[in-house]
Amino acid sequence: MCGIAGILGDYKEPQLDAMLASQQHRGPDATGKYFDVGYAALGHNRLAIIDLSPKSNQPFKDNSGRYLIVFNGEIYNYIEIKASLQSQYDFTTESDTEVLLAAFIIYGTSCLAKFNGMFAFAIWDNQEKKLFAARDRFGVKPFYYSLFNNTFYFSSEIKALHATGIPKEPNEKVWASYFAYGSYGMPDETFWSGIAQLPGGHFLSFSPQQCQSELSIPRSCREVEDLIIKKWYCFEEEVAKQPKNLTFSQAKEHYVGLLKDSVKLRFRADVSVGFNISGGLDSSVLLALVNLQENNNLNNNCHPEPSLPRACRGEGKQSAINAYTFYTNSPDYDELPWVEQMIAKTRNSLTKVLLQADEVPDLAQRMAWQQDEPFGGIPTLAYSKIFEQARKDKVLVLLDGQGMDEQWAGYDYYIQDNEATIQGIQDFPYKTTMLSDSFLTKAEKPIYPKPFDNEVLNKQYRDLFYTKIPRALRFNDRISMAFSTELREPFLDYRLVELAFSLPLDYKIRNRQTKFMLREIASDYLAADLVFAPKRALQTPQREWLAADLKSWVSSCFKELENSSCSTWFDEASLEKELQRYFEGNIQSSFHIWQCIGLCEMFKKNN
């Protein structure tokens, strides 16, 4: 897990230095640079996870010296790919970086389909003077870019692009759509003008010598011939290839086999591995499988997976795998009782991280800088404290349960006839009356593709590629990397998602019970009260804290908005009215309050 950066065209070394400095938290173990004079400058911040030796530092050059790679992420099946390439490539390291580069050299763009992992990488061909870059299927790892003053820039975080001197101007259409519809932009958009992101499951190619004039960010590869962007992962086609007519028991067996393998692959690391746990079903399943994986390693004569440095333990002793959870001392929201109930049975070491209301203002400002774009409120701040503690504990890789709700139709709105994208909300969360008429006209209601003939499938597809998963992955990438730790999501293994998505709807929802098959799988490992516990939509007392404990801070944020450069976005009287209504007890939803706080903190920190 690292930070990548590059400049193609008219580069200046201080610009690359500034990019790397702004992303140093992503990779504190080594910083490297490469220059192809007159054409390209590549940079890398390394967080060493696999093959910790300096030989695997980046930018990494192949044996011939023709290709250079900067890579962020992990190729979980690198051992298997490396074995298949041994006769065609002379490996000099034990890293997945070298495996990725070798696979590209041998297979070309078709290498992407062979990777089971999370990745964003760029490969420079210093013979052809051409860049190839790609992003993983679901966009777990980020890739931002800009074409500015005849020069192409790319990086892992938006702040690195702004560090080069690219103007920091808000994309008012995206901001307006966020306030009016809760949209975080389409897969190629960001909240900042002139900066785009490569969508998940896409690759690009670019040759700097072809760039003859200043170019704007393209909406498709047809608009700018010099920058070619193509989709390499077609989810709909892969779903159609899944086994047909599986019985419930056959589907369950197949899925469990893939699930165990996914967890096994994600324990490959040369550093300590832990996991995040809540009191929910998904997290509980992860806990059971993590400990099953450890037991399997112990039963195999205490010789774990390659690159898995974990001590053996005797029967009845505490598990060596650390679990982390957060709590707020709020009985109505904390999941700690369920977590402790599970941990009491598995005997994992549990680290409990407390978030208190008075920590929120400082954390919100820090996260505004880390995120570069709006993020998900106080739960995100609580989650960040887990990674901070894990880093202190020298646990550098954490697993979590992201992705189950989207593949198994776990949200309440999957069984409702509406277009909701927020779980457990009755009151309409977006308050367009706060916005000025001129700003509101810039908003565009997002229209999402519906490639399937079933509305539930289309909602799942929307959440996987346009709403829930993209924003959660972005939030979580920035949180984990803020503390130089790596986050892995075993439930987002593409094999699991494709299979679950392809199964009949009554395998997912039965008698209005969501995630039906997953609950059946969980019942083989967990107690019934955990298997059938309802999904809790809210994890922190955000609504109450913003209305009471943090009232003074909230008021000051709103006042600052009225005096800020974006004050024209709002109708001042309506903005004050919405805030007053909230303070007077209309707190069914706090999303609009957090939107304003986040905007204030982001502009305060960065302007």
DSSP states of 424-454: T--S----GGGB-HHHHTT---------SSS
DSSP states of 315-340: TTSPEEEEEEEEE-S-TTT--HHHHH
CA angle (13, 17, 22) in 5-degree steps: 150
Please give the structure tokens belonging to residue 55.
């030989």
State the catalytic residue, choosing from 2, 211, 557, 596.
2
> Is-catalytic flag, 557?
no
Number of other CB atoms surrounding residue 607 within 10 Å: 9
CA angle (57, 60, 66) in 5-degree steps: 165
Instruction: Report the amino acid identity of residue 283.
Output: S
Instruction: Report the amino acid identity of residue 523.
Output: S
C-alpha distances out from residue 505 to 149, 211, 418, 434, 516, Å:
51, 49, 18, 40, 10
Please give the structure tokens belonging to residue 264.
């096994």
Please give the structure tokens belonging to residue 386.
């887990």
Number of other CB atoms surrounding residue 256 within 10 Å: 14
Residue 228's φ and ψ, nearest 5 degrees, are -105, 125
C-alpha distances out from residue 154 to 4, 15, 44, 280, Å:
8, 12, 12, 38
8 Å CB contact between 7 and 151: yes
Burial of 512 (0-12, 13-18, 19+ CB in 10 A): exposed
Residue 192's φ and ψ, nearest 5 degrees, are -125, 130
| Strands of 130-135's sheet in order across | 60-61, 67-75, 117-125, 130-135, 202-206, 227-231
Number of other CB atoms surrounding residue 241 within 10 Å: 9
**Which of 436, 1, 440, 504 has its CA nearest to residue 180?**
440
C-alpha distances out from residue 450 to 198, 201, 262, 458, 594, Å:
21, 18, 29, 5, 30
Indicate if the alpha-carbon torsion angle 406, 525, 238, 188 is positive or negative. Answer: positive
96 annotated binding-site participant:
yes
Question: Binding site membership for L-glutamine: which residues?
Answer: 96
The residues annotated as belonging to the active site are: 2
Question: Binding site membership: which residues?
Answer: 96
